[in-house]
Amino acid sequence: MFKDIFPEELQEWEEKGAMLVDVREPFEFAQGHIPNVKNIPLSQFMSRKDEVTDPVVLICATGNRSGQVAHYLAENLGFTEVANLLGGTFGWSQQGRQIDMEPC
């Protein structure tokens, strides 16, 4: 199982050492992303899945694609602490939270 989390819960996951993974494509990521994330695009995810560590929070534009990846990690790869950021980067920015433009 994975957990859907709200933006205000992200810091708690970061404090417990969760890896933040943005699964959007590079052109989307370059338009702005949540601080401290690693970009592993969905199109490359299968070949790069070994880069992901448990615990992990998955992020995309709205929470849809990242939810699919969160499900995959929990159900197929045995990850035990997996979260999906509801609202994704769009929801994060709509709340006035910081968006970075630099590569991570």
Instruction: Judge whether 104 counts as a catalytic residue.
Output: no
pLDDT digits (tens, 9 = 90+) for 25-50: 999 999 999 999 999 999 999 999 99
The predicted-structure confidence for 82-100, as pLDDT tens digits, reads as follows 999 999 999 999 999 999 9
Of 43, 74, 42, 41, the residue nearest 56 (C-alpha): 74
Q: List domains and CATH numbers for the chain.
A: 3-94 (3.40.250.10)
pLDDT at 3: 97
Catalytic one of 5, 34, 60, 74: 60
Element (H, E) at 26: helix 26-29
